[in-house]
Structure 1
């Protein structure tokens, strides 16, 4: 099997601990290089994770003609610059979420990607876990009747003020970091786009970023989506779909690998019946990598395209517009 050769821009924790190991577990991709502006960091990570090549600059890695694609786990505010440069160097791109800070930036990336005939995918890994397909199957079977509402939450308490998630200049904020999952899950599970958004933000101690974001998505068919994200609350990562005859709850929606047994849990509660729990295994990071690599090596469309990412970014942007104006925002 031909393996996609991937270079990594930066030694960020998410790359070291999750995505690089997932690439190494995959059947159709391999990490062949890592770059850091601190070459000693690159060498240390390369030794720990058995990566053969290191570079002291991101551009040097992009100039390596043997590399097919790059994975970018840089701070949010740096995504656009380096995704664009990677595209210009004819590299396919897997970039951490949010891929950009607004829709206009992503439109620019889309144009450059098309001009250079490369794939760009936002790394929303959670959606590749099979537990979400189980939810969709239950909904399609009418298990809970007509859907009326969905809620999604992702939060954890963050007290470290030096953390980049609290740095406005680097694209910090709870919505960009974890709230995007709540928004994505509602859109993904309902398979619809909201027509209006209303959101409220909280900024702890004048940190310059939203440390809590809550809001409502309204859909044309009357379904309501309730979302929240926070650095001020205890750890929660769940969603629930509410219908006329019951509910479906996913208790480890975004990081099922952190649950006690490492599996996803889908809990079906139908009126008048005992709850039914489905325990579902899946390696979401590796499944994401394999889909990305398969699309490139077989020249097929990505399962999560740049247009899908653009729709997501338009909603995130609307959330921020609504929270800043304290008004309902119509989604463009």
Structure 2
């Protein structure tokens, strides 16, 4: 292998075009080698993205011996199939969140990765933004006293009459899968523990359809996490941590690039009376950091910081929340 990981991308998802392709192209240890699209626009997509090679099928790209790793931003219900196919072809895999739609699928991915000795990681890119590490430092330093509650919201308005894949149950649609998974992940990451019980209520698009909004309570030891997500509410992607002596607010937690104030992350520390003690900003591209981290793992045979076990645990929580809604 060269000093750069040669990446292939399965599909022409918007997140690949807007965020991952620029990150791969900017990364010091990665390069975009190929793109595969089964929509009949592979050549057009490759030209638009600056990929030197294109394939009309995912399988053909996976058989290319010059591709080291693949990024998979396909619909959620297709993740398990193509992650395992990629692994069987010896490719390292970065797969969009949620990695799968069931915890059993995550187990199957992990087993395949061990059998074929490749790296794989779920692409919760937001976790690589430095604002979250600072939040954890504040908590560890006792800045807000004893933590009592975590709150998180991730929502945006979606045309509910459209054919958007987020509204397709067979493709793994639903607000909890799409944006709520971030809130679940953040609660576990910031609190550095797993919930002992969960409860959720969802508003369905139609009877036996996907959830267009979900609200949930996750019970951790001594701390409750309240999370909500929606396809029918104004844009929001924030979390806050409340303690006995104050609050920490992160107003652009999951997509700091959407912050109209320069696309930066923000961490606001408030005292027990809600007076602002500190307001720090963090400029970073978590997509770039994620690509360079995973590429480094591939090049130097390291384990990704976000483990398969944590991916499994996150999916178990999401499964339990959906079960609670029935």
- Tell whether the structures are fold-level matches, with TM greater than 0.5: yes
Question: 1:318 — aligned with what?
Answer: 320
What residue ranges of structure 2 are gaps of 5+ in the alignment? none
Q: What TM-score does the superposition give when structure 1 sets the normalisation length?
A: 0.95
Q: Quick check: 1:94 aligned with 2:91? A: no
Question: 1:309 — aligned with what?
Answer: 311
Question: Which residues of 2 match residues 200-279 of structure 1 at below 5 A?
Answer: 200-206=201-207, 208-219=209-220, 221-260=221-260, 261-271=262-272, 273-279=275-281
Deviation at 1:2, TM superposition (A): 0.5
Q: Secondary structure at the match of 2:64?
A: coil
Question: Which residues of 2 match residues 138-217 of structure 1 at below 5 A?
Answer: 138-160=138-160, 161-206=162-207, 208-217=209-218
What residue ranges of structure 1 are gaps of 5+ in the alignment? 325-332
Q: Secondary structure at the match of 1:257?
A: helix
CA contact (8 A) 2:244 2:272 kept: no
Deviation at 1:81, TM superposition (A): 0.5
CA contact (8 A) 2:268 2:276 kept: no
Question: 2:137 — aligned with what?
Answer: 137
User: What is the distance in 2 between the residues matched to 1:164 and 1:275?
Assistant: 43
Q: Secondary structure at the match of 1:14?
A: helix
Instruction: Count the aligned residue pairs.
Output: 322
Question: 1:288 — aligned with what?
Answer: 290
Deviation at 1:119, TM superposition (A): 0.8
Q: 1:269 to 1:64 in 2, by over 3 A?
A: same
User: What is the distance in 2 between the residues matched to 1:239 and 1:9?
Assistant: 32
Q: Secondary structure at the match of 1:211?
A: strand
Q: Quick check: 1:124 aligned with 2:124? A: yes
What root-mean-square deviation, in Å, do the aligned CA atoms of Structure 1 and Structure 2 show?
Answer: 1.2
Q: What TM-score does the superposition give when structure 2 sets the normalisation length?
A: 0.96
CA contact (8 A) 1:212 1:230 kept: yes
User: What is the distance in 1 between the residues matched to 2:138 and 2:212?
Assistant: 34
Deviation at 1:206, TM superposition (A): 4.2
User: What is the distance in 2 between the residues matched to 1:2 and 1:295?
Assistant: 12
Deviation at 1:204, TM superposition (A): 2.9
Deviation at 1:251, TM superposition (A): 0.2
Question: 2:299 — aligned with what?
Answer: 297
Q: 1:222 to 1:316 in 2, by over 3 A?
A: same
Deviation at 1:307, TM superposition (A): 1.3
CA contact (8 A) 1:166 1:207 kept: no
Q: Quick check: 1:21 aligned with 2:14? A: no
